[in-house]
Amino acid sequence: MKQGRLDKVFNLIENKGLDAFLIKGADNIFYLSGFRGSEATLIVTRGDVILLTDFRYITYARDIAQGIIIEEVSWKKNLLEEICGRYSIKKIGFDCINTTYFMYSRWRETVKNVDFIPIEDEIERIRTHKEPDEIDTILKAVDIATKAFIDVLERICPGKTEKQIANEIDYAMQTLGAEGPSFDTIVASGTRAALPHAVPTDKEINDGDAVIIDFGAMFEGYCSDETCTVLIGETNSKLKDIYKIVNDARILGLERVMPGASIKELDSVVRSFINDAGYGEYFRHGVGHGVGIAVHEPPAINGSSEGILEENMIITIEPGIYLPNVGGVRLEDMLLVTKNGSKVLTSIRKDILNIK
């Protein structure tokens, strides 16, 4: 049982005047119980924690979720109504970001005399503060992804396709111990590098291309996330110019990461640098985001974000410039916010990756 994490949920229940909290988000359930499966509901009452799952996962759940009550769901009985009656639950919060409207409607129809109160991203916010074991696990994911990329880097050459490169990175990460990629690996070359989240295709790499490679490993339920841009042979001066601008913006962002820093101002500083260089309209996504159990989780680092960076958050800094019909450059690092500043967790050189 993740007692320290659950204590924060108990406090949330108390502070919001609830009798219990009903959780459907798979990442939140994993965070609080260690269980991950396609069928799961976690109910945190003021005293007990109950995991509902079906017959496929019962044995696994009892093994992995020690100290938590395991209940098998069945179409023959209304288990949620039964539990609400057992614990005298009249007011139950639910993570509305991860709950479908269909599920919410079904609860309303089948569980009588209980008020369902939508709670937004409270648990996701709890997850932003990484514990020492979480940081160690993320570092292992970073190490796997780094070794995989370095192994594949020397094989990126004209004639290779985007799909081949993506598959080789994914295979290398799994060979090194990853459960798989933490997201669909992005490889975008030539003019396709102007597409920030391009899906790899059968397009061949050509001399003169910029190749954006966005990759990460999943290890023991935690993610890494890093982006490199590789220049193949002699690229045109425009690509070299934006590469330097993006790299300088990246360094500026890294220097501004520290506890107490305004998230909105961090985005503004990096964005303004690119805007002043004349490419503001070609940088349209956020400067970064949190990373943990999910590859994208709070805090989102963009112009509409509120709040400050806090110790033990793990975030990315990932500026980019994407020029239609020319190509693009994105460079991304992961950082841990420390007591006195920050620590860059990724180690691949970003200044110039040029394969002659």
Domain carrying residue 235: 132-355
Instruction: Verify that 26 and 161 share a domain, yes or no.
Output: no
CATH of residue 34's domain is 3.40.350.10
Instruction: Verify that 214 and 271 share a domain, yes or no.
Output: yes
Q: How many domains does the chain have?
A: 2
Instruction: Kindly state the DSSP code that residue 179 receives in the 8-state scheme.
Output: S
Query: Residue 354's pLDDT band (boundaries 50, 70, 90)?
Result: low
Q: What is residue 2's predicted lDDT score, i.e. its pLDDT? A: 81
Query: Residue 356's pLDDT band (boundaries 50, 70, 90)?
Result: low
Region 316-344 average pLDDT: 97
Region 287-312 average pLDDT: 96
CATH of residue 174's domain is 3.90.230.10
Region 135-152 average pLDDT: 98
Instruction: Verify that 137 and 75 share a domain, yes or no.
Output: no
Instruction: Verify that 120 and 141 share a domain, yes or no.
Output: no
Q: Which residue matches tokens 């291309």?
A: 209
Q: HSE-up of 172 (CA within 13 Å, CB side)?
A: 21
Which pair of structure tokens corresponds to residue 223?
């993610």
Contact 226, 333 (CB under 8 A): yes
Instruction: Verify that 147 and 251 share a domain, yes or no.
Output: yes
Instruction: Verify that 117 and 238 share a domain, yes or no.
Output: no
Instruction: Verify that 69 and 103 share a domain, yes or no.
Output: yes
End-to-end CA distance of the chain: 53
Residue 1: pLDDT over 70: no
Contact 327, 194 (CB under 8 A): yes
Q: What is the mean pLDDT of the chain?
A: 95
Last residue of a domain, one of 68, 94, 127: 127
Residue 228: pLDDT over 90: yes
Q: What is residue 239's predicted lDDT score, i.e. its pLDDT? A: 92
Angle at 97 between CA 93 and CA 101, to 5 degrees: 85
pTM attached to this predicted model: 0.94
Q: What is residue 77's predicted lDDT score, i.e. its pLDDT? A: 83
Instruction: Verify that 191 and 208 share a domain, yes or no.
Output: yes
Instruction: Verify that 198 and 339 share a domain, yes or no.
Output: yes
Last residue of a domain, one of 127, 152, 172: 127
Instruction: Verify that 43 and 114 share a domain, yes or no.
Output: yes
Tens digit of pLDDT for each residue in 61-105? 999 998 999 999 987 789 999 999 999 999 999 999 999 999 999
Tens digit of pLDDT for each residue in 44-62? 999 899 999 999 999 999 9
Instruction: Verify that 106 and 150 share a domain, yes or no.
Output: no
Last residue of a domain, one of 127, 162, 196: 127
Instruction: Verify that 122 and 229 share a domain, yes or no.
Output: no
